[in-house]
Amino acid sequence: MGVKKRHKYYPKSFSGRVKNVINRADVILELVDARNVQGTRIKEVEDLVRRWNKDLIIVINKIDLANPDLTDLQSEGLKYCLISSKQRIGKKNLMRRLKELAKRKDKRLVVGVVGYPDVGKSSLINYLSGKKKTRVEFTPGSTKGEQYIRLSDRVMLIDTPGVYRRKENQKDLALKFAYSPDRLKDPVPIAIEIIERYLQDNDSSFLYYYGIVNTSQVMKEDAITIMEIIGKKRGLLMKGGEVNLTEVAKLIIRDYQRGNLPPITK
């Protein structure tokens, strides 16, 4: 007997699954985070969309958390929409664009949604559909497979699992809000980097979230000392009263990813 041929809609690899979505779609919505527009773009996906002559719209989500830097998108002449799924902002404009594309193509529009894990794809789809069609979790990478959602008679969405760029390490992904702190081998250096960015900006606003009011004094300390202060405030202690830096680091990364901390400006 010969080897059974793999059906084209059941690719061997995850990257193949993403390619299938792009292949089937008429337009791709690339969802990026307003706090880091350039860092959460996936250039490999954009290049493939161009090569296959598909329409691309960059959907900038979480504009309630930051004012996005649009300089590069505008200089490249890319189409984009501003969205806040949480605050329910931007749906009308995005749906108008999709309906215009469907009318221009004179067909039912198939729309692929791609982006990093936890950039907000499921929340966006729930917002656009007006109903809770897809499960939403806070853990990056919670969407397990492709899902199909009908928005109207002329617009159908395909959702995919999150996409990672090649050769990205855990630290890069965590700082792009795309890797759960519970999965990190060592979260402490990443939490240190987050704190050091606030220190470099001389921005003490993140300390208020942890109930620290003597900010001028604390801002003179190093990142580890600040983590210890936060750990004591939150009661993250080990036997003997020593601060559990690993748990403090996870807490800081989680708060940073969820938007509980103010956006870092640099």
Transcribe the chain into DSSP letters: -PPPPPPTTS-SSHHHHHHHHHHH-SEEEEEEETTSTTTT--HHHHHHHHHTT-EEEEEEE-TTT-----HHHHHTT-EEEE-BTTTTBSHHHHHHHHHHHHHHHTSPEEEEEEESTTSSHHHHHHHHHSS--S---SSTT---S-EEEEEETTEEEEE----PPTT--HHHHHHTT-S-GGG-S--HHHHHHHHHHHHHTT--HHHHHTT---HHHHTTS-HHHHHHHHHHHHT-B-TTS-B-HHHHHHHHHHHHHHT-SPPP--
Looking at the structure, do residues 34 and 144 belong to the same domain, yes or no? yes
What is the CATH number for 69?
3.40.50.300
Looking at the structure, do residues 139 and 53 belong to the same domain, yes or no? yes
Looking at the structure, do residues 153 and 56 belong to the same domain, yes or no? yes
Q: How many domains does the chain have?
A: 2
pLDDT of residue 63: 93
Looking at the structure, do residues 113 and 227 belong to the same domain, yes or no? no
Looking at the structure, do residues 139 and 24 belong to the same domain, yes or no? yes
Looking at the structure, do residues 155 and 206 belong to the same domain, yes or no? no
Q: Which domain holds residue 211?
A: 180-258
Residue 5 lies in a domain: no
pLDDT in tens, the chain (266 residues): 444 343 333 333 446 777 888 888 999 999 999 988 988 898 888 998 999 999 999 999 999 988 999 999 999 999 999 999 889 999 999 999 998 998 888 888 999 988 887 778 878 888 888 765 544 444 444 444 556 788 888 888 886 666 655 566 777 778 777 778 888 888 999 999 999 999 998 999 899 999 998 898 999 999 999 999 999 999 999 988 899 999 999 999 999 988 888 877 55
Looking at the structure, do residues 83 and 215 belong to the same domain, yes or no? no
pLDDT of residue 76: 94
Looking at the structure, do residues 86 and 186 belong to the same domain, yes or no? no
